[in-house]
């Protein structure tokens, strides 16, 4: 600890998360708790940036010397690479960037979603068949994670035929599935991963109906990357079936801890970050 009192002043360093919308992000909760614990004169803020303003936002942030780096979320993960000086090999393999750090006057992109996704699955044997709902930046990280984990068959389900075929070009070993054919593959799905925004801050919305969830086999894992509401309707339906469920909070926590270490070069206080998230969701702070 360096004795910083928490007062924002002229020496305060800036971190943040770029997205649109971004008001529901819990990243400021966990990162500011970590920064206080570390005694770092820094603040982490939500930065709502529309897709049409992304280039200007990156240029503006680069002109502010106190900005150390930032996270990237929907809808910018796939587009932001074009505005960065460098993208590391992991982010290149994913085709999406979720963390950007400053190296001198340069912006360097990486991806911490891959490790964050796998963190709550540690100790679990890799499933043979994975079904991923959605084909955006988060889905790309999930596919790279599952490939590295040793999953043999990965299917990605999308509503837009053009986007799902483009996704397959990035990952030739992945099988593209049209949304109207989804129910035919659910009975053999061992891990179901939901990566779309459906259900975010919407307690009564789910990408799957109860009847579709009932098609999943016993022993399947339902993993929803959304963490608010908690649990989502999809996970409530899966839990009613007796299936193992995971939400996106552990992924958020661990990808954020890795990002913080990337920016600051010191170990992240993971437990402090976890406590802040749980306290916030419980409405105690």
Q: Find the CATH number of the domain harbouring 264.
A: 3.40.50.10860
Same domain, 23 and 41: yes
Indicate the number of domains in the chain. Answer: 2
Same domain, 66 and 120: no
Give the residue from 250, 133, 225, 259 showing the smallest Cα distance to 185. 133
Residue 201 pLDDT = 77
Q: State the burial class of residue 23 (Cβ atoms within 10 Å of its Cβ: 0-12, 13-18, 19+).
A: exposed
The domain of 134 spans 115-247
Same domain, 155 and 93: no
| Residue 3 is assigned to a structural domain of this protein | no
Name residue 182's beta-bridge partners. none
Residue 140 pLDDT = 95
| Residue 7 is assigned to a structural domain of this protein | no
Same domain, 71 and 100: yes
Same domain, 119 and 236: yes
Active site (catalytic) residues? 77
Task: Report d(CA 27, CA 45) in Å as an integer.
Answer: 8
Task: Report d(CA 275, CA 124) in Å as an integer.
Answer: 24
The 3-state DSSP class for residue 101 equals strand
| Residue 81 is assigned to a structural domain of this protein | yes
The encoded tokens of residue 181 equal 């054919």
Same domain, 228 and 270: no
Q: Which residue has the tokens 């899966």?
A: 238
Q: What are phi and psi of 6, to 5 degrees?
A: 100, 0
Task: Report d(CA 228, CA 249) in Å as an integer.
Answer: 9
Q: What are phi and psi of 268, to 5 degrees?
A: -80, 140
Q: State the burial class of residue 13 (Cβ atoms within 10 Å of its Cβ: 0-12, 13-18, 19+).
A: middle
Sheet containing 106-110: give its strands across: 42-48, 13-19, 67-72, 99-103, 106-110, 86-87
Neighbours of 169 (CB within 10 A): 9
Same domain, 96 and 59: yes
| Residue 124 is assigned to a structural domain of this protein | yes
| Residue 6 is assigned to a structural domain of this protein | no
Q: Which residue has the tokens 């999308």?
A: 158
Same domain, 107 and 120: no
Helices 27-38 and 270-281 cross at an angle (nearest 10°) of 140
Same domain, 103 and 220: no
Q: Could you tell me the CATH number of the domain that includes residue 124?
A: 3.40.50.720
The encoded tokens of residue 163 equal 């986007």
Q: State the burial class of residue 230 (Cβ atoms within 10 Å of its Cβ: 0-12, 13-18, 19+).
A: middle
Per-residue pLDDT of 200-213, as tens digits, reads 878 899 999 999 99
Low-confidence ranges of the chain (pLDDT < 70): 1-6, 284-285
Give the residue from 202, 234, 238, 198 showing the smallest Cα distance to 217. 238
Same domain, 70 and 192: no
Residue 1 pLDDT = 45
DSSP secondary structure string for all residues of 151-212: -SEEEEEES-HHHHHHHHHH-TTSEEEEGGGGGGTGGG-SEEEE-SSTTTT-TT--SS-HHH
| Residue 1 is assigned to a structural domain of this protein | no
Q: What does the DSSP 8-state code read for residue 188?
A: G
Same domain, 133 and 66: no
pTM of the model: 0.93
Per-residue pLDDT of 89-112, as tens digits, reads 999 999 999 999 999 889 999 999
Same domain, 121 and 194: yes
């Amino acid at each position: 600890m360096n004795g910083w009192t928490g007062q924002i002043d002229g020496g305060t360093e800036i971190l943040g998360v770029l997205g649109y919308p971004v008001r529901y992000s819990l990243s400021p909760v966990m990162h500011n708790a970590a920064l206080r614990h570390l005694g770092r004169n820094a603040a982490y803020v939500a930065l709502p940036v529309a897709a049409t303003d992304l280039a200007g936002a990156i240029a503006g942030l680069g002109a502010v010397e106190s900005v150390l780096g930032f996270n990237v979320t929907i809808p910018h993960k796939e587009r932001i690479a074009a505005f960065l000086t460098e993208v590391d090999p992991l982010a290149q393999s994913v085709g999406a960037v979720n963390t950007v750090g400053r190296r001198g006057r340069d912006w360097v992109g990486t991806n911490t979603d891959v490790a964050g996704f796998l963190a709550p699955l540690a100790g679990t044997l890799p499933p043979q068949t994975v079904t991923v709902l959605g084909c955006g930046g988060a889905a790309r990280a999930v596919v790279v994670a599952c490939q590295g984990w040793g999953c043999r068959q990965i299917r990605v389900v999308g509503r837009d035929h053009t986007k799902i075929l483009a996704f397959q070009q990035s990952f030739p070993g992945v099988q593209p599935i049209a949304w109207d054919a989804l129910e035919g593959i659910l009975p053999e799905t061992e891990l179901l991963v939901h990566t779309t925004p459906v259900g975010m801050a919407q307690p009564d919305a789910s990408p799957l109906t109860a009847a579709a969830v009932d098609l999943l086999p016993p022993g399947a894992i339902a993993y929803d990357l959304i963490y608010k509401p908690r649990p989502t309707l999809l996970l409530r339906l899966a839990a009613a079936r007796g299936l193992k469920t995971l939400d996106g909070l552990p992924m958020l926590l661990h990808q954020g801890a890795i990002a913080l270490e990337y920016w600051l070069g010191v170990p992240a206080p993971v437990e402090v970050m976890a406590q802040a998230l749980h306290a916030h969701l419980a409405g105690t702070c």
